[in-house]
């Protein structure tokens, strides 16, 4: 008990501090606070002066307990009287007036004190959301700062090394000048000695000793210079190793991930700066070596170190420069079609674009290096492996005009692919079963770097692309691109799918989140990912060790594979629900069992929005009601798909959805978006300004949003039934739906059409469309009762009759 008391005390202390914490938030969040309290329901003055008392009370219980709500309302009014007396003593005329007005406004809750409790509870929850958002932003900023600090530290270290290299090159320039001056001094004295006829042997010997001293100093200086050049090349080699084997490899991996939606930085400007710096230094080393050769031609002697060491230094310098240059030619923007699902999926006879870049930037090479495009030279020895030709403008010059940052790029914008008609190709190849969308192809780019006597053949290659001939293959092709770039570190492995590895759950979940993040700017949270993991692996204590096979992702249960289901949701969200998703109003990925356990703990009318687990590209909503025994009862509508969402926005469906309660009085059962946000507060900014008969969606509302009785028999009421004929609830297997029903000349005998109940006048009997079904196999393909151990088993035979549930109809 003592431990629990401590915990209660701690949480109480946190609640007490809520208002103070809010007041200390940065301006962006205090602005949200001002906007929250820019209404009369709970004035900010009252919240401020009564903050300690407000945060102590059990408003959640009071929202359900009328007696407690009455007590709290009375105490609230008494506290306002106390505050009013205080302002009278302080002679604060304005606050006296305000407090008196606030008290009068609160007195209207005397008939419904629970409503006041719900209102104050809603404000407190909104405050917590602001605090949580601020805390999350602070945590993200902290992590971002730490990551930036690490990256900055690494970049600063590399910058220091670059500065050290430039400094050594400058020192070498000074050394070469000194060496040349020493040699000129020796050469001048030596030539003078040769021209003078000195008879005195003593003088002659003195001159020779001076010359010998000079040549010794020259030799030492040459040895020192050669040693310094070796050290300079050592430093350069280390930097090239960092650039080529670390920085460039990391950039390539970031580019792979960014192609499949990761928010990674793929800017090449910094790499270009570093590559160019090292290349410039190496070209200066080549000039130093040329200078040494020139000096040796003027003055040389036995055991001259320059003669013996300069050739090896030249080879080493050229080899380092070759390595640097060959790695500096990259594909900056991977091949993509203008209307494609993503990069790296290309279609025959459809134009695509791709951009290459040379990271070694020498302005004198602007427009002089020609880049040629081609496909793979040697196709893998696989039966049926296709070959392609590149058509269009296949040659372009690297230039600085097509890059916003002034980089050396060749931007190909009008390329197409055409399949080669080579009968019997690869007849002797291995019989590996690869589908068209598992075939990987690589596009190559060739050019020649020529500068100051150096000529180097350069080649860049794209990431593997999937080439399709029909738009229906695009979804499957994109799945292949996702899988390859999620897992493969070998960017030239065109045989990847011949022996395809599995993905760990952390890899797979992150990739799925990237899809939503890139499409809608909002990824998946931990709870949503856990639901997906549960769908794939069942209930596990820890999903980190679970693995997803390629076949499970893209092949099992074809055509309705996991990827088809997930991508159907993604397309629906991007097309119809992006704003709602981005604002966090859609819970989305939540199982039905979890959904019911969440809603049963909430007040009547609480609802949430989730994606269908059985209907491709479907979204539904469930709400909690109270049954005749006072128990929570969760109800769900059949999923809405693009058929519906193209006719009416989802928020208007939520706004206008109604069921017929007792005495056929229509009521919208959706009151609070989970956990407890009033529906209109959550969706108001999306609503159409026109309502009622003036609503642009009135036809859909009156004919497609079905009204259902609360009796044991569910009755679908509408002028016409829905376009939906499948879903998670009762399916109209024996009747026509939607347009089919409207166009049928011989309506089913199970169908009876009546005017819409909303259109009947007072006193007229409710009219309805009934489809009487009694099919024991109705739930065969339904997932409505999965994942909920609390639901009792039952048989449809218990019902006298069951009507079909059209899109937007309700099942329990």
pLDDT at 704: 63
Task: Return the pLDDT at 724.
Answer: 32
**What is the residue-averaged pLDDT of the chain?**
80
Q: How far apart are CA 709 and CA 582, in angstroms?
A: 34
Report how far apart, in Å, the C-alpha atoms of 623 and of each of 262, 595, 668, 670, 706 are: 35, 9, 11, 7, 16
The rounded percent of the chain whose pLDDT value lies above 90 is 46
Structure tokens at 400: 């600085």
At 17 the pLDDT is 66
Q: Judge whether residue 682 has pLDDT over 80.
A: yes
User: What is d(CA 158, CA 471) in angstroms, rounded to the nearest whole number?
Assistant: 46
Q: Would you say residue 500 has pLDDT above 60? A: yes
Residue 661 above 80 pLDDT?
no
State the Rg of the chain over Cα: 39
| Res. 147: pLDDT tops 70 | no
Instruction: Determine the pLDDT at residue 729.
Output: 38
Q: Is residue 142 pLDDT above 70, yes or no?
A: no
Question: What pLDDT score was predicted for residue 343?
Answer: 94
**Structure confidence at residue 145 (pLDDT):** 58
Tokens encoding 403: 């890059």
Long-range CB pairs of 308-313, under 8 A, 24+ apart, other chains included: 309/226, 310/226, 313/226, 313/229, 313/230, 313/233, 313/289
> DSSP 3-state assignment of 461?
strand
Alpha carbons 769 and 93: distance in angstroms, whole number? 64
Distance CA 253, CA 245 (A): 12
Q: What is the pLDDT of residues 698-753, one digit of tens each?
A: 777 766 665 444 333 333 333 222 333 333 433 322 222 332 333 333 332 222 22
Going along 235-377, which residue ranges are E strands? 329-336, 345-347, 352-358, 370-375
Alpha helices in 269-304 (DSSP H): 269-298
**pLDDT at position 272, please?**
95
For residue range 467-493, list pLDDT tens digits in order: 999 988 999 999 999 999 999 999 999
pLDDT tens string 322-366: 999 999 999 999 999 988 788 999 999 999 999 999 999 999 999
Bond prior to 242 in cis (omega within 30° of 0)? no
Instruction: Kindly report the backbone phi and psi dihedral angles of residue 616, in degrees, each rounded to the nearest multiple of 5, phi listed first.
Output: -65, 125
For the cut 80, the answer to whether the pLDDT of residue 694 exceeds it is no
CA distance 416 to 379: 19
Mean pLDDT check: name the lowest of 107-116, 480-489, 635-644, 802-811: 802-811
Pairing of strands 619-626, 606-611: antiparallel
Report residue 248 CA to chain centroid gap.
23
Report whether pLDDT(6) > 70.
Answer: no
pLDDT given at position 196: 74
Calpha distance 261→317 (Å, rounded): 40
pLDDT of residue 126: 86
Strand partners, 678: 672
Whether residue 127 contacts residue 101, with contact meaning beta carbons closer than 8 Å, is answered with no
Containing H/E element for 192? Answer: helix 113-195
Lowest mean pLDDT of 26-35, 154-163, 337-346, 498-507, name the range.
26-35
Q: What is the mean pLDDT of residues 265-293?
A: 94
**What is the model's pLDDT at position 143?**
60
- pLDDT value of position 191: 80
CA 571 from centroid of its chain's CA atoms: 14
What is the structure's pLDDT at 726?
34
| Amino acid 70: pLDDT | 92
In angstroms, the CA 655 to CA 11 distance is: 37
Note the pLDDT of residue 794. Answer: 27
pLDDT greater than 70 at residue 552: yes
- Report the half-sphere exposure of 411 (CA within 13 A, side-chain side): 10
The DSSP line for 17-57 is THHHHHHTS-HHHHHHHHHHTSSSSS-HHHHHHTHHHHHHS
Least confident of 311-315, 559-563, 757-761: 757-761
In terms of C-beta density within 10 A (0-12 exposed, 13-18 middle, 19 or more buried), how is residue 254 classed?
Answer: middle
What is the C-alpha separation between 337 and 157, in angstroms, rounded? 40
On whether the CB atoms of residues 592 and 783 are closer than 8 A, the answer is yes
Other CB atoms within 10 A of residue 265 CB: 10
Closest CA to 507 of 564, 545, 535, 450: 545
Per-residue pLDDT tens for 644-660? 999 889 999 998 888 87
Query: In the prediction, which pLDDT does 774 show?
Result: 27
122-126, 173-177, 793-797, range with the lowest pLDDT: 793-797
Beta bridge partners of 388: 419
566 pLDDT band, cuts 50/70/90, is very high
Distance between CA atoms of 506 and 542, rounded to whole angstroms? Answer: 11
Q: DSSP string of 580-632? A: HHHTT---BS--HHHHHHHHTTS-TTEEEEEE-SSSTT-EEEEEEEE-TTS-E
Per-residue model confidence as pLDDT tens digits over 372-427: 999 877 777 777 889 999 999 999 999 998 888 889 999 999 999 999 886 545 55
Q: Which of 47, 51, 56, 54 is nearest to 98 (CA)?
A: 47
Is residue 408 a contact partner of residue 358, using CB atoms and an 8 Å limit? yes
Token pair for residue 143?
Answer: 């992590």
Taking 3-state DSSP, the helix, strand and coil percentages for the chain, each rounded to the nearest 5, stand at 50, 15, 35
Q: Which of 64-68, 120-124, 198-202, 353-357 has the highest mean pLDDT?
A: 353-357
Give the pLDDT score at 11.
38
Q: Copy the structure tokens of residue 334.
A: 């991977």
Buried b (16+ CB within 10 A) or exposed e, 17-29: ebbeebeebeeeb
- At 240, the pLDDT band (50, 70, 90 cuts) reads very high
């Amino acid at each position: 008990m003592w431990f629990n008391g401590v915990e209660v005390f701690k949480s109480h202390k946190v609640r007490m501090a809520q208002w103070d914490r809010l007041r200390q938030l940065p301006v962006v969040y205090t602005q949200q606070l001002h906007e929250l309290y820019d209404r009369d329901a709970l004035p900010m003055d009252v919240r401020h002066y009564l903050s300690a008392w407000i945060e102590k009370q059990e408003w959640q219980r009071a929202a359900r307990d009328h007696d407690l709500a009455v007590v709290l309302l009375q105490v609230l009014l008494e506290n306002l009287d106390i505050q009013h007396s205080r302002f009278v003593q302080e002679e604060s005329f304005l606050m006296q007036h305000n407090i008196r007005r606030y008290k009068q406004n609160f007195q209207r809750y005397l008939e419904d004190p629970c409503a006041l409790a719900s209102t104050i509870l809603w404000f407190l929850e909104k405050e917590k959301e602001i605090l949580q958002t601020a805390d999350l932003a602070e945590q993200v900023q902290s992590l971002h700062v730490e990551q930036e600090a690490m990256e900055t530290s690494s970049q600063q270290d590399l910058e220091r090394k670059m500065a050290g290299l430039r400094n050594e090159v400058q020192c070498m320039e000074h050394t070469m000048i000194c060496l040349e001056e020493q040699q000129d001094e020796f050469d001048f004295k030596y030539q003078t000695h040769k021209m003078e006829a000195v008879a005195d042997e003593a003088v002659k010997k003195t001159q020779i000793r001076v010359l010998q001293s000079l040549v010794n100093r020259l030799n030492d200086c040459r040895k020192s210079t050669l040693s310094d050049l070796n050290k300079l090349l050592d430093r350069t080699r280390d930097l090239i190793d960092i650039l080529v084997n670390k920085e460039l490899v990391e950039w390539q991996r970031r580019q792979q991930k960014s192609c499949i939606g990761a928010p990674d930085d793929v800017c090449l400007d910094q790499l270009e700066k570093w590559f160019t710096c090292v290349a410039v230094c190496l070209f200066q080393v080549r000039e130093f070596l040329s200078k040494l050769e020139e000096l040796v031609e003027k003055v040389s002697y036995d055991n001259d170190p320059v003669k013996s060491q300069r050739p090896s230094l030249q080879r080493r310098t050229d080899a380092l420069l070759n390595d640097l240059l060959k790695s500096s030619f990259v594909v900056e923007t991977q091949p993509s079609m203008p209307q494609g699902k993503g990069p790296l999926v290309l279609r025959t006879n459809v134009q695509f674009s791709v951009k290459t870049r040379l990271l070694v930037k020498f302005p004198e090479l602007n427009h002089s290096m020609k880049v040629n495009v081609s496909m793979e030279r040697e196709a893998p020895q696989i039966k049926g492996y296709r070959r392609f030709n590149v058509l269009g403008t296949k040659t372009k010059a690297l230039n600085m005009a097509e890059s916003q940052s002034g980089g050396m790029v060749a931007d190909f914008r009008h390329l197409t692919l055409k399949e080669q008609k080579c009968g019997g190709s690869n007849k002797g190849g291995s019989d590996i079963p690869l589908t068209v969308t598992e075939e990987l192809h690589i596009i190559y780019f060739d050019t020649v770097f020529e500068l100051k006597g150096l000529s180097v053949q350069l080649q860049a290659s794209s990431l593997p692309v999937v080439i399709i001939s029909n738009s229906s293959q695009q979804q499957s092709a994109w799945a292949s691109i996702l899988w390859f770039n999620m897992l493969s570190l070998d960017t030239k492995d065109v045989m990847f799918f011949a022996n395809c590895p599995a993905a760990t759950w952390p890899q797979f979940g992150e990739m799925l989140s990237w899809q939503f993040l890139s499409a809608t700017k909002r990824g998946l949270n931990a709870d949503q990912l856990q639901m997906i993991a549960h769908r794939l692996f069942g209930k596990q204590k820890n999903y980190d060790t679970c693995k997803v096979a390629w076949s499970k992702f893209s092949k099992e249960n074809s055509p309705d594979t996991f990827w088809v289901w997930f991508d159907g949701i993604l397309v629906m969200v991007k097309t119809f629900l992006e704003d709602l998703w981005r604002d966090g109003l859609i819970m989305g990925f939540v199982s039905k069992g979890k959904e019911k356990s969440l809603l049963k703990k909430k007040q009547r009318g609480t609802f949430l929005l989730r994606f269908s687990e059985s209907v491709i590209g479907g979204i539904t909503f469930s709400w909690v009601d109270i049954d005749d025994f006072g128990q929570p009862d969760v109800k769900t509508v059949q999923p809405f798909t693009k058929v519906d969402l193209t006719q009416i926005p989802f928020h208007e469906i939520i706004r206008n959805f109604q069921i017929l309660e007792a005495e056929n009085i229509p009521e919208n059962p959706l009151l609070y978006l989970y956990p407890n946000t009033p529906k209109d507060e959550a969706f108001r900014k999306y609503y159409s300004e026109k309502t009622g008969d003036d609503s642009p969606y009135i036809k859909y509302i009156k004919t497609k949003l079905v009204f259902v009785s609360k009796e044991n028999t569910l009755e679908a009421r509408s002028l016409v039934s829905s376009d939906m004929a499948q879903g998670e609830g009762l399916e109209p297997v024996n009747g026509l739906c939607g347009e089919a029903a409207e166009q049928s000349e011989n309506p089913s005998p199970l169908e009876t059409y009546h005017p819409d109940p909303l259109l009947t006048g007072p006193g007229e009997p409710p009219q309805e469309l009934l489809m009487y079904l009694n099919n024991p196999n109705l739930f065969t393909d339904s997932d409505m009762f999965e994942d909920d151990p609390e639901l009792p088993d039952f048989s449809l035979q218990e019902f006298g009759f069951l009507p079909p549930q059209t899109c937007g109809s309700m099942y329990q």
